[in-house]
Amino acid sequence: MSHSAVVSQAGAVSVSIGNERSLRRSVFKNNSISFNSKSWSSSLAMNQKTTNVRDAKRYTNRTICMSVQQTSSSKVTVSPIELEDPKDPPLNLYKPKESYTAKIVSVERVVGPKAPGETCHIVIDHDGNLPYWEGQSYGVIPPGENPKKPGAPHNVRLYSIASTRYGDFFDGKTASLCVRRAVYYDPETGKEDPSKNGVCSNFLCDSKPGDKIQITGPSGKVMLLPEKDPKATHIMIATGTGVAPYRGYLRRMFMEDVPNRTFGGLAWLFLGVANTDSLLYDDEFTKYLKDHPEHFRYDKALSREEKNKKGGKMYVQDKIEEYSDEIFKLLDNGAHIYFCGLKGMMPGIQDTLKRVAEERGESWDLKLSQLRKNKQWHVEVY
């Protein structure tokens, strides 16, 4: 957001496994690990037994599983499990002036032909040197010169990470981004003006396997997944590519076999997109719904295909209003609620929540203040 065995729009492809368990074995039984320095990530990469398997060759005998469409209901083994050890998240291991050079593994279009615009799932190989937690972001520095500062590089663009800390290959060496290509059309001529297109999104969507990419980070604490209570409720609200961090949450909850991490709560995803062809990771989410109906709910708002109760377009806030009574009760009982997507999503959602609160005889300002105080309110918009 291509490797020949990632996802097509029709479904997922799984590559047969060689000796997967031996490849994923951890060798850090005696090392103490701290996330807050580059030395940790460097030593991890240097000591793993898989370091002699490089670049594309490393993936030929591994399970390449971006989607769960063709996986079994049993969970997937992950490694190295030492990624669970640190108590604090990794933060800013690499900064703009000292960025990390990673490589593109694959770039795949993940929307159908009728979707407005193009969205890509992009897998990046960081070789274990840029660890992160679910809900964090990477910074990307596109190649070229900053037009506003001749001679200087482009500014960093932040992207929410769309994978768990183990990555799409479950070995702790990759991260995935979900990127919509930003394209500008002249309102008078109706023609595309490449000079005004999004520099970083087009660089990412045009990348090829093996291309180098400059990464900073990871950054962010607001969207970290609270895991102290395995039976907690998590209400996740997204528009478009804002679904990225939730993909990581849900893979961690339902796909990966993480020692001492059994999710027994409720994950409820609301996803707003234009139409069916615009749905992102729908095969994964639908499978979770099938396999874990008691722990997962999935509601979609398709603005160009569905109508709300007033006859207008169905937006994510309309879905929230539809289930508002349940949502408010869950929040009263300690549920976490997350918002990720374009800034424009928040006013409509806030207005809906305020109206619903008033109808219930509550003060939304007071309720919001309490949610923030209790650390139940998580917002990351761009």
Catalogue the active-site residues: 159-160, 340, 380, 382
Containing 157, the helix (H) or strand (E) segment is: strand 157-160
In terms of DSSP bridges, do strands 377-381 and 296-302 run parallel, antiparallel, or are they unpaired? unpaired
Residue type, position 360, single letter: R
- Tell the residue number behind the tokens 């972001």, with chain if given: 137
Which is nearest to 279 in space by CA: 305, 255, 297? 305
- The angle at the Cα of 29, spanning 86 to 55, to the nearest 5 degrees, equals 80
- Cα dihedral 91, 93, 99, 102 sign: negative
User: Distances in Å between the alpha carbon of 382 and those of 153, 316, 345?
Assistant: 22, 17, 10
- Cα dihedral 69, 75, 77, 80 sign: positive
Which is nearest to 377 in space by CA: 221, 160, 222? 222
Given a contact cutoff of 8 angstroms between Cβ atoms, the answer to whether 256 and 172 are in contact is: no
Which are the contacts of 89, defined by CB distance < 8 A and separation ≥ 6?
A: 35, 132, 133, 136, 218, 221, 224
The DSSP symbol for 13 reads -
Q: How far apart are CA 55 and CA 277, in angstroms?
A: 32
Angle between helices 282-291 and 244-254 (to 10 degrees): 30
Question: What is the chain's length?
Answer: 382
User: Residue 118 — φ and ψ, nearest 5°?
Assistant: -120, 130
